Chain A
Amino acid sequence: MDALYERPKSLTNRATAYCPGCLHGVATRLIAELIDELDARADTVAVLPVGCGTLGMFHFNTDIVVSPHGRTPAVATGVKRSAPEKLVFSYQGDGDLAAIGLAEIMHAANRGENFTVIFINNGTYGMTGGQMAPTTLVGQKSTTTPEGRNPAETGYPMMMCEILSQLRAPRYIARFSLDCPANVIQAKKGLRKSFELQRAGKGFTFVELLSNCPTNWGLSPLECLEWMRENTMKAFPLGVFRDRED
């Protein structure tokens, strides 16, 4: 009997550390499936951030390097330059990537580092309890914007795909959503393209995945998905922002 569905070898045999309904689980599984499909488990290094993404060290059954907060692309730079034969990806949330680690992501992208950045955008700091992130939507409540994000005081959501697209060096920049199976399939295609480009030595690839946070948004898993469609996906348009042929 053929198995229709099984645990990817690139995932450890462990119950999820993420909250019920959190799309980190989907993103983690997509990545693990891809690594299996590319037969790259033994040659993969996951560079993990600080935040919920750190929990990836429970899940990815690959080499892992956990970075200080936001320095993830700098650590990945050291990893990839020291071991160019490895498939290297950084896995970062919006606080890690777009706030404390803004310099690191901009410069790794600008150097055209040959690794893949997977950016999980759920508009909040999950692990620390739902504070405002650079990507929090206008009017969205958080524990540090109790009346909702007011642009006059805290500015507007930072559109990282659009910002990075101003740079010349990146090879591939795209935004997907994990809200429904059709979009998940698209996201996996984008991830696959990124990994393949990296393996071909084509340079910096960046995949933003719109995600959720049932716990800190205070919504049920299904309500979260609906909220994403009504709000997040309108503020952050999906699409390919850069696909530069050499």
Chain B
Amino acid sequence: MEKKITIAGFGGQGVMAIGQMLGYASCKAGGNALFLPKYGPEQRGGTANCTVTLADVEIGAPESRYVDTLIALNQPSLERFLGAVRPGGLVLLNSSLCRWTGGREDVKLAEIPADDIAREIGSPKVANIVVIGAYIGLSGVLTERQMLDAIEEKLGKRPELLEMNRLALKRGMESATPRT
């Protein structure tokens, strides 16, 4: 198994955190992972994207022409990276901030209102955890338990924080709606 996922959005949306958390979780679960961030020269604003590879084999190329999944957190990211999704691949949209305008008939589409869900839970900051939940729910690449272990280790064990993240992950897993 080897899955490449590109995650893209505005700087500050937690793009890198999503990629890193997926990598941590895979590593912690005994699998392989490669997280590759890409930055522009700007320190703030602009766009951010990263590619994470999750695998149970040795990982070769950190970056390929096509990825298995695109997680687009805003509209420009969707437009920029849609062409990089391999036929049959998955596009996961943050429907709070971007909408599907078509252009690819050969990919699976799933939408998740990550920011809306995060606000409902009570912290806009957990939108990226909602997205992670949606991704592992749809792909089955990592289990909820494996993901929670990594979140707990990296984002802290304070009970209220942990509960918020646990809830965000769960809501993400439940709320992703595949659409064809």
Tell whether any CB of A sits under 8 Å from a CB of B in the complex: no
| B contacts, CB < 8 Å to A | none
Binding site for B on A (CB under 8 A): none
